[in-house]
Amino acid sequence: LFITNVLEEVRGQVLELCTDPSVSVILERLLAVCSASELRRFLAALQPHFACLSRHRCGAHVVQMALLQSARLGDQLQVAEEEGEGAAEGGGERRSLEALIRELSAGVRGDFLVYASDTHGSFVLRTLLQILGGVVLSPEDTKKSSRKKAPRGECLVAPLRSNKSSWCELADAMNAGCQSSRD
């Protein structure tokens, strides 16, 4: 109930709160433990500001956490459906999360090079590509050790399955952007 109320209050002020250094850390922690319906509502409120937040030093962390949580929750929803729990409600939420992720990725397609060349946007882009590709690395696999190179870990398969055409469209946009930068 607490998380639901806090995320409801954030709705109208998502840009201001996600870019605040103190509040963004709190939002990251809340998103890490929120439910699928709470995350779906948060992503819907975040969607109009996605480009701005993805390239902001604090907002990018909030966006990245929301994307990672969508992959985790999608996995939980898929397991619940397979076990027969909440198939009607859970399936609708999963489709909504998938639809929101696809809509967010569609916005990235046009500005691929902007995201890729931005310090903060590149991390959001990497996370989005991992989710669309169906592979999300565990936190241990992405941490660097000061003494030795981190060993390659096992990848966790994310439940969000993008259709092949959206993945191909993103690859085409990337190739077109690279060719135009050479000209």
Looking at residue 150, what is its pLDDT?
45
What is the average pLDDT score of the chain? 75
Give the C-alpha separation, 169 to 91, whole Å.
Answer: 26
Helix extents (H) in the chain? 2-10, 14-18, 21-31, 36-46, 50-54, 59-83, 87-110, 112-117, 121-133, 139-142, 164-182
Q: Which two tokens stand for residue 120?
A: 């903060």
Looking at residue 174, what is its pLDDT?
59
Q: Would you tell me how many other CB atoms lie within 10 Å of the CB of residue 132? A: 20
3-state secondary structure (DSSP) of residue 144: coil
Per-residue pLDDT averaged across 63-91, rounded? 67
Looking at residue 171, what is its pLDDT?
63
Looking at residue 12, what is its pLDDT?
82
> Is residue 108 pLDDT above 60, yes or no?
yes
> Is residue 86 pLDDT above 50, yes or no?
no
Instruction: Output phi, psi for 47, to 5 deg.
Output: -50, -45
Looking at residue 90, what is its pLDDT?
45
Percentage of residues of the chain with pLDDT beyond 90: 27
What is the count of structural domains for the chain? 1
What is the band of 98 on the pLDDT scale with cuts at 50, 70, 90? confident
Tell me if 43 sits within 8 A of 80, measured CB to CB: no
Domain boundaries, position 171:
2-182
Spatial CA neighbour of 108 closest among 94, 134, 133, 129: 129
> Is residue 73 pLDDT above 60, yes or no?
yes
